[in-house]
Chain A
Amino acid sequence: MTASEPSDVAARPIHVTETLVAGVALGSIPADWDADRAVTELYTTHYRSLVRLAALLVRDIGTAEEVVQDSFVAMHGGWRRLRDSEKALSYLRQSVVNRSRSVLRHRVVVDRNAPKPPPDMPSAEHGAIALLERSAVIAALRTLPARQREALVLRFYGDMSEAQIAEAMEISKGAVKSHTARAMATLRTVLERDA
């Protein structure tokens, strides 16, 4: 697999509100903006894409919204430290990834200890998850480890560079390459086997 060059990002048909890269859809936020105004601007531009990113990670729309809202609240509290659109969006991405990881970790614990529901009673999240996993590719994506799934989602949905993925996942660029390559190999194997 070869990583696409950053110049390819602009050539891809991506909706302007879907991007997670700062500076493409949102101009640089002036430093003298207060936190409320910055949150409003970033919400208008990036909220939807961030919720979709979180939904791909946590496989639950409601939880994804809560994750993103918590991230915005945290960004509001740390706005004096950020004071920049690039930093703010980077902070939001990183916060969403970390909080999604925490949600998955907590969900594993809850599923381990919670009593199993009857088989004929679908859970409340079943509809949303089934909606997301209608595609075979998404279903195969679910079988991947969390780090590999994060790397693929950030790479192929967020259209981030390896440096941005490394920053969001708080790992090195080499680890990003490794996770992406392993995830693609596993995904290819699963899809070929199912086909």
Chain B
Amino acid sequence: MSEAFGPEAALRRALHAAAEQVEPGDDGLEKIRARVSHRRPMPLPVAWVDIALTRLALRVPDGFWTIWDRMAHEVRAVVEHFLPERIRSDRLRLGWLRPVAAMGTAVFIVAAVVYMAVEVPQVIAPAGSEATQLHNGGSGQHAGGGTGPGGQPYTQPGSKPTSFPGPSLGAPNASACPSRKTSPRGTITSSPPASSSPSPTPSPTTTSPSSSSSPSPSPSDTDSSAPTGSGTSPSGAADPGNSAADAARGGQTLTRAESLLQAAAGARAQTATTSPSPSPCPSSKPSPTSTVKVHPDAAGGLVLWAQGAGLGPADIPAGLG
């Protein structure tokens, strides 16, 4: 039969002729044994497992492996019975798992990329906006804070740009005071609560305590932020020149802080009715060195910050904050 196919017979003869010229060395078995004996020792846990399996294999009955092989053959036959026809073979082959695993990996990568492209920007954007709000001094809690009437970012003319332009600088009447006296050092600022809606109500927060006015800027229903000379300021309240002196003295700082606190509390109580001072433009006199900022917190309480002239948080009476 093979004689009818010349090329095949010629190839077979040529291959056998070429192979017969190859004579391997006689020391092949010794080399194999040497390599077997010098094999790299297996790790200790693997060696323990190997020893355990060897001992177990030695203890099993003689016919165990025959039964084992028959059972394995039957299991393999059952498995192959349920396999697709094209991957059925004489022996169980799992080579089809390789392309399946490759396809699964590709699908996973594509799905991950699509998920990252769709979901991550939506997650990042709110986080970025929150970060922006935080950076702007919590303008989300302040009605219109940080932006001017035209929606433009508010900056006070003549004042130093700050990184927190929101609460104290965003008051409408602050824009009416282009002088340098509107610097935060000369203001009593009372931020509205966080729950306040962005109403166009003039901010009760800022009352410019111009140096010409009393250092106890008691809010009034009138549009005057002029010095009232109220009794809440027992000493030196009528004389603006004395305010600096009082601040410098520091001996009466506690009394003055109390008066400021009362003034701020009154301002907060009359939030709806307090109008911004129509004549907030300060005089050319320098602003007082004492600065008080009153921030009501979200619960409605007041936090008094007194700065300068020896007024500090430690000077605030307990229970006023």
Known: A77-B39, A157-B19. A43 touches B8 (CB 8 A): no
Residues on the A chain within 8 Å of B57, using CB: 80
Stretch from B9-17, B155-163, B225-233 contacting the other chain: B9-17
**0 or 1 for each of B119-152: is its CB under 8 Å from A? (1 = yes):** 0000000000000000000000000000000000
CB closest chain-A residue, reference B31: A69
A187 at the interface (CB under 8 A from B): yes
- Are B32 and A184 in contact (CB-based, < 8 A)? no
Residues on the A chain within 8 Å of B90, using CB: 163
Known: A76-B36, A184-B8. A135 touches B18 (CB 8 A): yes
B84 at the interface (CB under 8 A from A): no
- Are B28 and A69 in contact (CB-based, < 8 A)? yes
A153 at the interface (CB under 8 A from B): yes
Residues on the A chain within 8 Å of B14, using CB: 135, 137-138, 141
Known: A69-B31, A137-B10. A56 touches B24 (CB 8 A): no
Residues on the B chain within 8 Å of A32, using CB: 62
CB < 8 Å neighbour of B21 from A64, A73, A131, A170: A131
Minimum C-beta distance from B34 to chain A (A): 9
A99 at the interface (CB under 8 A from B): no
- Are B32 and A157 in contact (CB-based, < 8 A)? no
Classify the interface of chain A: helix, strand, loop or mixed. Answer: helix
- Are A43 and B65 in contact (CB-based, < 8 A)? no
B200 at the interface (CB under 8 A from A): no
Known: A69-B28, A137-B11. A132 touches B5 (CB 8 A): no
Known: A65-B24, A77-B39, A170-B95. A43 touches B32 (CB 8 A): yes
**0 or 1 for each of A21-39: is its CB under 8 Å from B? (1 = yes):** 0000000000110001001
- Cα–Cα, bound, A187→B65 (Å): 48
Minimum C-beta distance from B272 to chain A (A): 86
- Are B7 and A184 in contact (CB-based, < 8 A)? yes
- Are A68 and B18 in contact (CB-based, < 8 A)? no
- Are B15 and A68 in contact (CB-based, < 8 A)? no
B55 at the interface (CB under 8 A from A): no
CB closest chain-B residue, reference A136: B14
- Cα–Cα, bound, A12→B114 (Å): 62
Residues on the A chain within 8 Å of B33, using CB: 36, 39
B35 at the interface (CB under 8 A from A): yes
Residues on the A chain within 8 Å of B36, using CB: 36, 39, 73, 76
- Are A8 and B15 in contact (CB-based, < 8 A)? no
Within 8 A of B (CB), among A45-61: 47-48, 51-53, 55-56, 61
Residues on the A chain within 8 Å of B21, using CB: 131-132
- Are B17 and A156 in contact (CB-based, < 8 A)? no
Residues on the A chain within 8 Å of B2, using CB: 4, 8, 12
Known: A51-B22, A132-B21. A2 touches B5 (CB 8 A): yes
CB < 8 Å neighbour of B22 from A1, A52, A76, A153: A52
- Are A69 and B8 in contact (CB-based, < 8 A)? no
Residues on the B chain within 8 Å of A143, using CB: none
Known: A43-B29, A135-B17. A51 touches B24 (CB 8 A): yes
**0 or 1 for each of A60-89: is its CB under 8 Å from B? (1 = yes):** 010011001110110011001001000000
CB closest chain-A residue, reference B54: A80
- Cα–Cα, bound, A77→B11 (Å): 36
B1 at the interface (CB under 8 A from A): yes
- Are A31 and B65 in contact (CB-based, < 8 A)? yes
- Are B15 and A65 in contact (CB-based, < 8 A)? no
Minimum C-beta distance from B119 to chain A (A): 42
Minimum C-beta distance from A99 to chain B (A): 14
- Are A187 and B7 in contact (CB-based, < 8 A)? yes
Known: A4-B1, A4-B2, A137-B11. A52 touches B29 (CB 8 A): no
Extra inter-chain contacts (4) besides given A83-B65, A156-B12, CB under 8 Å: A36-B33, A65-B25, A70-B35, A137-B14
Chain A to chain B contacts (Cβ below 8 Å), 22 pairs: A4-B1, A12-B2, A47-B29, A51-B22, A52-B19, A55-B22, A56-B18, A65-B24, A68-B24, A68-B28, A69-B31, A72-B32, A73-B32, A77-B39, A132-B21, A134-B18, A137-B15, A138-B14, A156-B8, A157-B12, A184-B11, A187-B11
The 8 closest A-B pairs by CB, nearest first: A137-B14, A52-B19, A51-B24, A157-B15, A156-B12, A55-B22, A72-B32, A135-B14
Q: Which residues of B contact A (CB under 8 A)?
A: 1-2, 5, 7-8, 10-12, 14-22, 24-25, 28-29, 31-33, 35-36, 39, 53, 57, 62, 65-66, 90-91, 95
Q: Which residues of A contact B (CB under 8 A)?
A: 1-2, 4, 8, 12, 18, 31-32, 36, 39-40, 43, 47-48, 51-53, 55-56, 61, 64-65, 68-70, 72-73, 76-77, 80, 83, 131-135, 137-138, 141, 152-153, 156-157, 163, 167, 170, 184, 187-188, 191
